[in-house]
Structure formats: C-alpha cells, structure tokens
C-alpha cells in the first residue's frame, strides 16, 4: 500500500474542505489499487483521520475526530458483522511498503504511548506519523544512536525541535536496536531501520506481535536504556 501517495492526496483534497466528484473518482481508483486487505483498510482509515486532525487548529475538534474514529472501529468494524481483530503476530518484509505500512499503522492506531528505539530514522513518512501521534496526545519517547542522529537527512533534529522526549546513545558503541512498543501492548521488532532505503532497496523484516511476554521483555529493555541514557 502506498501510504505516502494517500497522504499527498488527502492534503490536496483538504485544501477546500470538500471532496469533489473528480477527487472522489481519484480516491476510488487509489483504493481499488492499494487497499486489498483489512489491515490496509485500517491503515488508510487511520491516515484519513490523522489528516483531519492535522488540518484542524482547534484541539477540541481534533479530540472529536479521535472519538469518531474509535466509535467507527466498533460500529463499522473491518469485518462486517464481527469485531475487527488483528492477528496476535504477523511478519512483514521489504523491499516494498509492507514494513512501512505496518509502522504507520501502529503509530496511527496507538492512543496512549509509543516507545521507539531505533538506530536511524530518516523516512519522512514515518516521521510525519510520529509527529501526528505526538500532536494528538500520544506519549512518545525516542531512543537513538549518535552515529546516525546527526547524519544529513536524519529526522532526529526535527523531533528535538518539536519537543518530543528523546535520548541519544553517545557512547563509543552503538544503540543498534530497531524496535518500538505501542500502548505497552504491541511490539514491532526486526532488522528494519526506519529509512527509505530499507523500504525501497533492502531485504529487511519486521515482526508485529501482541505476545505479552515479548512485549514485557522489550518494554523492560526500553525503560532500562532510557534510564541509563537520560
């Protein structure tokens, strides 16, 4: 699924606050081409609400959009007639948009917290989703490594400027992890750095799991690293 393409379309459509006939046709074509699974439908729906929250200036209005999104997950689930449930664990691979889509999906779906521990973050599509989550009230924390934090194209300075809590490993060694925990209930972990190269060129992987033992183990490690580097 081309998440960046949908984001660009939504920004364009939101300029006048209306969905014209031609825009509806364009959007329908994009959906037919890109949305073939319930997971992709969930990601796309989340992007629509995130775009709306970004467009409104009133924080109260943004909260109303979050409320509507949560209600729709109950009233209109991904599987008609049943609760919209995701598998406990799933593996996705790159090159391609599967890993990128999985990361954006988790950032869009989380409500309370996003603890991100990743060696390098340069993909603006992911960075935009992190900023959007932070703006809607998600408690975001980021751990990264100094070897890549100051590289050209790194999005770490943007997070610092925004005020997102962040710590950097400045030891002679590397904080080489690539994992994230969402709402202390869901874990993403794998070889995938959060970069365009990982999406477009590299053979990488991400495991997305709700296994409570794994989530607890990685949360404990995140908290330990955060305390050590703070």
The pLDDT of residue 31 is above 70: yes
pLDDT value of residue 140: 97
Catalytic position from the list 33, 176, 220, 228: 176
Residue 162's pLDDT band, with cuts at 50, 70 and 90, is very high
Identify whether 176 is a catalytic site residue.
yes
* Euclidean distance between CA atoms 87 and 173, whole angstroms: 36
121-130 mean pLDDT: 92
Residue 227, phi then psi, degrees to nearest 5? -65, -40
pLDDT value of residue 86: 67
Q: At CA 200, angle to CA 180 and CA 4, rounded to 5? A: 70
Residue 77 half-sphere exposure toward CB, CA atoms < 13 A: 9
The pLDDT of residue 85 is above 90: no
pLDDT in tens, 48-69: 887 887 777 777 777 777 778 7
pLDDT in tens, 8-23: 888 888 888 788 888 8
pLDDT value of residue 177: 97
Question: In percent, how much of the chain has pLDDT > 90?
Answer: 50
Of the listed ranges 76-80, 92-96, 106-110, the least confidently predicted one is 76-80
**Mean pLDDT over the full length of the chain:** 87
Identify whether 228 is a catalytic site residue.
no
35-43 mean pLDDT: 75
pLDDT value of residue 78: 60
pLDDT value of residue 13: 85
- Per CATH, which fold does 88-230 belong to? Endonuclease; Chain A (3.30.870)
Of 150, 152, 185, whose CA–CA distance to 168 is shortest? 150
Structure tokens at 219: 């949360």
Strands (E), the chain: 89-94, 113-118, 139-145, 166-169, 178-182, 186-190, 204-209
Identify whether 79 is a catalytic site residue.
no
pLDDT in tens, 213-225: 999 999 999 999 9
In three-state secondary structure terms, 189 is strand
Within 59-154, residue ranges assigned H as helices are: 59-75, 98-109, 124-135, 146-149
The pLDDT of residue 102 is above 50: yes
* Euclidean distance between CA atoms 49 and 69, whole angstroms: 7
Residue 4 half-sphere exposure toward CB, CA atoms < 13 A: 12
Question: In percent, how much of the chain has pLDDT > 70?
Answer: 94
pLDDT in tens, 171-222: 999 999 999 999 999 999 999 999 999 999 999 999 999 999 999 999 999 9
User: Exposure pattern of 82-120 as b/e (b: 16+ CB <10 Å)?
Assistant: eeeeeeeeeebebeebbbbbbbbbbbbbbeebbbbbbbb
In three-state secondary structure terms, 88 is coil
What's the length of the chain?
Answer: 230
179, 187 contact by CB (below 8 A)? yes
Residues 6+ apart with CB under 8 A from 89: 207, 208, 209, 210, 211
């Amino acid at each position: 699924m081309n998440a960046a393409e949908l984001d660009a379309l939504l920004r364009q459509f939101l300029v006048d606050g209306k969905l014209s006939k031609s825009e509806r046709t364009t959007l329908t074509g994009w959906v037919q081409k890109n949305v073939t699974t319930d997971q992709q439908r969930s990601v796309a729906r989340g992007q629509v609400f995130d775009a709306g929250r970004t467009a409104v200036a009133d924080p109260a209005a943004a909260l109303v959009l979050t409320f509507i999104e949560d209600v729709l997950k109950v009233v209109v689930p991904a599987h008609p007639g049943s609760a919209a449930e995701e598998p406990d664990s799933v593996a996705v691979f790159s090159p391609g948009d599967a890993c990128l889509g999985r990361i954006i999906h988790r950032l869009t779906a989380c409500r309370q917290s996003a603890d991100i521990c990743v060696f390098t973050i340069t993909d603006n599509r992911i960075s935009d989703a992190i900023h959007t989550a932070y703006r809607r009230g998600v408690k975001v924390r980021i751990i990264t490594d100094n070897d890549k934090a100051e590289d050209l194209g790194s999005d770490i300075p943007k997070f610092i400027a925004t005020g997102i809590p962040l710590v950097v490993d400045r030891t002679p060694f590397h904080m080489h992890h690539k994992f994230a925990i969402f709402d202390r209930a869901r874990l993403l972990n794998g070889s995938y750095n959060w970069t365009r190269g990982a999406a477009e060129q590299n053979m990488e992987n991400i495991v997305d799991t709700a296994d409570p033992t794994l989530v607890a183990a990685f949360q404990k490690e995140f908290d330990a690293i955060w305390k050590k580097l703070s």
